[in-house]
Structure formats: structure tokens, C-alpha cells
Structure 1
Amino acid sequence: MIRKVTIIDQDQINQLRQKIIKKISLDDYNLLKQEAILQYFQNNNFYKKLETEIGYVISFENKILGYGVLYHPQQNQITDLYVDP
């Protein structure tokens, strides 16, 4: 199912981000950079982001498998895209 993100999705999306960041190749991002990215997401105000951006999740049996955000819907610009490995 594809649907708009709600505040209830915050924990699952954060878990998905952490899972993906930890699978990033150390050739691309060293551990320090990975930790900085995770810290950024923890400090980011999820609810405030939902007021200005349109986010969507792909879910199956109440588990979020993917997440994306259209930052400028009129331009179809995607700012975040995460898919469970």
C-alpha cells in the first residue's frame, strides 16, 4: 500500500533510516559520517517536516518498506528516498 506519511510512522521511518545507514559502504561514508547522518535524523523535527513536505510510505502488513518525500511537489523533486534492503 502507498499512502501519505503520518506522525505515527516516525519510529518505523527512523528505524528504516538507521538500518539503511548502517548498510552503507564504508568506502562511501566512514563510521564518523554515518554517525553524523544518524544524529541529524534524530535531531530533525519530524512533525515540522510533515507540515512543509509531502511524504509517502510503502507498507506491507503494517511494516514500512519504503519512504520518500516530495519537497517541491510542483517540481516533482524528491529529497528523501529510503527502501528496506
Structure 2
Amino acid sequence: MLLGFYKQRLGRVLAGVLAGISDRFHWNVSLVRIIFVVICLLGKIGLLAIAAYVLLAAILPFKEDVYADRYGTGPRKIKDAEKIRK
């Protein structure tokens, strides 16, 4: 994961990059979207912001996939459980 950033499937509109940023910093997703649209309307900086969005959409993993890999999904089986040593 790139410095703790991720995309998010829940609440996404396009790729989920802005939803992931808002979740990461505990901001309102609507506020992040409005700021992004305003930045996109600022000429050359807007083109850079769009290019960054496309790049992040291509390389960032989804939060749900990262958590599934880290913590697993579904019930654990006894044979997969780690043995407790006394």
C-alpha cells in the first residue's frame, strides 16, 4: 500500500480514489469531491490533478482487498489456527 493510501469500493463514483482519500483522513467525501472539481477547473493544475487521479486509480489497491489479505475473510478453521504453547 502506497503510504497507507487506498481506493474504496464503498461510496465510490468512478474509481474510488476520492472515497479512499476521504476515508483515510476522516473527511466528508462530498467535500473532497467538490475540492477536486474546483482544482480541475484551474487550468494546468487541473490537468495535473486529473493525471494524478488516473495514475492513483491504476496503482492503488482497494481497501477491502487489503483488509481481506491482512485479516482474512470468513470463519477460521481449527486446523488453520495457530497452536498455543504453554
Q: TM-score, normalised by structure 1?
A: 0.30
Larger fraction in strand: 1
Larger fraction in helix: 2
Higher relative contact order (CA 8 A, sep 6+): 1
Q: TM-score, normalised by structure 2?
A: 0.30
Larger radius of gyration: 2
